[in-house]
Amino acid sequence: MPLPQPRVGKSLEFHVYPSCTNEGTLGSPETIVWSSIQHLCSRAAADWLAWNIHKISKKRDRAALAANVKLYIQHASEFYRAAAMAKPNTAPLIYYYAFLNLAKALCEIKKPRLHERSECYSHGLSWRPNPRKVVDLRTESVKIVGRGMWHALWESLMLNPCPAANPTKLPIRSLFSYCPEISSEFFRVFGFPGYSLIDLEKPNIRHDEHTAEVWLRFSVPRWGLSSRRIYAPQLLRQLATARSGYVEVSSTNEESRRFESATPKALGRREPPWLALETDILGINTFTLLDINGKLNYFVPVQRRMPLPLPQLVVSYTILFWLGSLVRYDPHSVRWLIDSEYWVLIDGFMSQSRLWLLELFEWALYRDETTLCALR
């Protein structure tokens, strides 16, 4: 039976936040990202962000937010500078505390007065070493426990209550497999087909001006499905939301399969198309990576073996917690890892994924997908 033809509509492109910008820099991209984040230490800048981007209308809440965000960002930047001077056997722990404070800044924006809630004083994650042997990346895992900053961070990104049971295991090897920045390092250590992402080809929002309806359309490569050992119906069930699922439509490319929203969304009066499809975009849980030409590539995580959906930012944040715990509790394993075949993966994470994690925090703070490219 032939597949139905895709709906006719104008392409409005695709991005993971309400707005997107393209910027270039002659300086260090890392420095520019930090400058952007530290801009929120200004009370006026934080108040503007809270009102215009995060729609916090109460003046009292915005005032509390501005003061607390400044505090968390200042702590984060001081930890970050200290970590940059540290050696590999200690830096991950200091970097984790930098990102913990960025997580607090983001969660403060979502729910002002974070420090008044108990979750502010717990990591929400747990890991303990085995005193009888060094770590094994093939079998190690961290546990989601109780209620802490991990849960608050997850909820600030997914805009839903965190469904993680107590405790929930997250395998370290699986977490590394969701980091596109270090895909070559992962392949070198673990081999194919452990990589857990599928290319999202030509994702875009479609708009029918006559019916005032919008929907999502995207393609995935056939080899991506087969190599990750997942059938299209399984993937579509993972991406479906309460509002709509996806159906396959005819594709002009024999190497790809094309899908679009089963149910278009009617636009409200003056409602931006992105906001109309916000839950659908969050449901895809898109992962991103800059290619060599400075263009963003999008991926769909294959998370059928994960106990809950994990946003890209949360994946890297969780790995950094584990690396920080290693430094704190198990220096013997750190010493062994530095001389092991796994170090290329960990070193790649600290030099590449950590920087991308910083950019993802900036995106989340400003709700802006920023493509920042060095101009030389």
Summarize pLDDT for 215-265 with one digit per residue, the tens: 999 999 999 999 888 999 999 999 999 999 999 999 999 999 999 999 999
- 86 belongs to a structural domain: no
Domain with 209 in it: 10-14+195-301
Q: Is residue 248 one of the residues assigned to a domain?
A: yes
The answer as to whether 292 is a domain residue is yes
Task: Evaluate whether residue 79 is within a structural domain.
Answer: no
Q: What is the DSSP string of 238-303?
A: HH--SS--EEEE--S-TTEEEEEESS-EEPPTT--HHHHTHHHHHHHT-EEEE-TTSPEEEEEE--
Rounded CA-CA distance 278/126 in Å is 32
Nearest to residue 103, comparing CAs of 116, 90, 120? 120
Domain count, the chain: 1
Percentage of the chain beyond pLDDT 70 is 99
Q: What is the pLDDT of residues 119-151, one digit of tens each?
A: 999 999 999 999 899 999 999 999 999 999 999
* Residue 269 counted as domain residue: yes
d(CA 168, CA 358): 26
pLDDT of residue 329: 95
| Averaged confidence pLDDT in the chain | 93
Domain-embedded: residue 276: yes
In-domain check, residue 39: no
Domain assignment present for 202? yes
Residue numbers in the chain where pLDDT is lower than 70: 192-194, 376
